[in-house]
Amino acid sequence: MSVLIENARVIDPASGFDAVAPVCIQGSEILALNTIPENFEPRRRIDAAGRWLFPGLIDLAAHLREPGEEQKATIASETLAAARGGVTTVVVPPDTDPPVDSPAEVELILRRAEQACGVRVLTMGALTRALNGEQLAELAALKRAGVVGVSNAQRPLSSALVLRRALEYAATFDLLVAVSAHDRDLAGSGCMHEGAVSTRLGLPGIPEAAETAALGTILALVELTGARVHVSRLSTRRGAEMVAEARASGLPVSADVAAHQLFLTEVDAADFNPLCHVIPPLRTQRDRDGLRDAVARGDIAAICSDHQPHESDAKLGPFAQTLPGISALETLLPLTLRLAEEGLMTLPEALRRVTAGPAAILGLPTGRLRPGSPADFVLFDPDGLTDIRPESWFSAGANTPFFGWTFSGRVTETWVAGRPAWTAPGEDAV
């Protein structure tokens, strides 16, 4: 299909382009930006006056719960929630049931994604067999099957030696290794940040050292092996500083942070609110501000949702006995844009953290607007409003602490590969 989108404010963080300009779509790709080629005859014209057009979001961590936990959510339900939130690509961690430790699981997820709304679903392969933390998975076979990297999710490795061997093995295939900086021994049975709030509530805490000690080992092994490593979901100011220092010294390290860590702190869990039970835990205001500064500087190159939908029963009961995680695909874009509203960074730079930033980490051709790139983009009404309410929630998991929040602007259309994956009610659909 050929489409001409006119009069939109086009924002491409990757190139710095920001102007009212036409965008020409031919088939699944962008044909032209800021010019209309001769003999281009679009089958559809969209007058997007007053709206923004920017690349579709790339979410580096979204649990879709399928296969294995369909009682919580499915690929179909969560990719539709993603599209509604302007997310055009999601990366699934390998801790499904069964884990993604062979090409068969990769193919199963991709096949089911093809039957959904069209949002791109990419997979992380398991670093170890069945995520057991001991025997390395068949990384070469996983790469041939199309994984964008390998990870052990939040499952522990049996030793630093296993991590070293894994990094050496992955480096031979130029595979990205995503790691969680979380020392299980130091974390123990903790369920929130170790500090004044956890002491007052009488809850076991997870110290900052659970992240920084693990991160120290990871960075030392990156220096030793030269493997490309991505640190997933940092939660501490010191952890962000360690990554910045490693990057400044030339180590091939990148990092992301979950959007909720940039807005919530341990105080939000002070009334035993199970919706604020997450791992890594919400930490201090100093940590939150340090993470924000690292995102603004670009030391943390990506913001992810860390989407973890749960059935309602999972959040019932005493705080420590509830399951951690937030349903977050639909709040990733609103929270990111609020960082720009609050003056932490410019609008293009905020969008970069959820588009070009994660695309560069994974080596994807998406996350940018240029001729030949996949036509994955969002049409956004900056004058609208997004009310986070249960009745307008798309994800099968309603476990979010952001119900009741109102954000400026709203997604009106989300396009993937040149076709609408989601159109807001009242908008013209193809």
List pLDDT tens digits, range 128-165: 999 999 999 999 999 999 999 999 999 999 999 999 99
**Alpha carbon separation from 38 to 31, 32, 35, 318 (Å, rounded):** 12, 11, 9, 65
Cβ atoms within 10 Å of 249's Cβ, excluding its own: 10
Do 234 and 256 meet the contact criterion of CB atoms below 8 Å apart? Answer: yes
pLDDT of residue 428: 59
C-alpha to C-alpha distance for 363 and 3, rounded to whole angstroms = 27
pLDDT of residue 426: 78
pLDDT of residue 285: 98
C-alpha to C-alpha distance for 77 and 131, rounded to whole angstroms = 26
Reduced 3-state DSSP string for the chain: CEEEEEEEEEEECCCCEEEEEEEEEECCEEEEECCCCCCCCCCEEEECCCCEEEECEEECCECCCCCCCCCCCCHHHHHHHHHHCCEEEEEECCCCCCCCCCHHHHHHHHHHHHCCCCCEEEEEEECEHHHCCCCECCHHHHHHHCCCEEECCCCCCCCHHHHHHHHHHHHHCCCCEEEECCCHHHHCCCCEECCHHHHHHCCCEECCHHHHHHHHHHHHHHHHHCCCEEEECCCCHHHHHHHHHHHHCCCCEEEEEEHHHHCCCHHHHCCCCHHHCCCCCCCCHHHHHHHHHHHHHCCCCEEECCECCCCHHHHCCCHHHCCCCECCHHHHHHHHHHHHHCCCCCHHHHHHCCCHHHHHHHCCCCCCCCCCCECCEEEEEEEEEEECCHHHCCCCCCCCCCCCCEEEEEEEEEEECCEEEEECCCCCCC
Catalytic residues: 306
Do 123 and 61 meet the contact criterion of CB atoms below 8 Å apart? Answer: no
pLDDT of residue 280: 97
CATH code of the domain made up of 56-362 = 3.20.20.140
Do 32 and 371 meet the contact criterion of CB atoms below 8 Å apart? Answer: yes
Residue range 257-290, pLDDT digits in tens: 999 999 999 999 999 999 999 999 999 999 999 9
Domain ranges of the chain: 2-54+373-423, 56-362
pLDDT of residue 429: 46
- Strand order of the β-sheet with 57-59 is 57-59, 87-92, 120-126, 149-151, 177-180, 229-232, 253-258, 302-304
The β-bridge relationship of strands 2-12 and 44-47 is: parallel
Residues 6+ apart with CB under 8 A from 379: 5, 8, 46, 48, 51, 52, 53, 411, 412, 413, 414, 415
Nearest CA to 60 out of 284, 360, 350 is that of 360
pLDDT of residue 430: 42
pLDDT of residue 165: 96
Residues of the chain with pLDDT under 50: 429-430
Q: Fold for 2-54+373-423, please state it.
A: Urease, subunit C; domain 1 (2.30.40)
**Alpha carbon separation from 259 to 307, 350, 360, 369, 404 (Å, rounded):** 10, 12, 19, 24, 17
Residue range 369-381, pLDDT digits in tens: 999 999 999 999 9
User: The tokens 């970069």 sit on which residue?
Assistant: 352
pTM value surpassing 0.85: yes
pLDDT of residue 88: 98
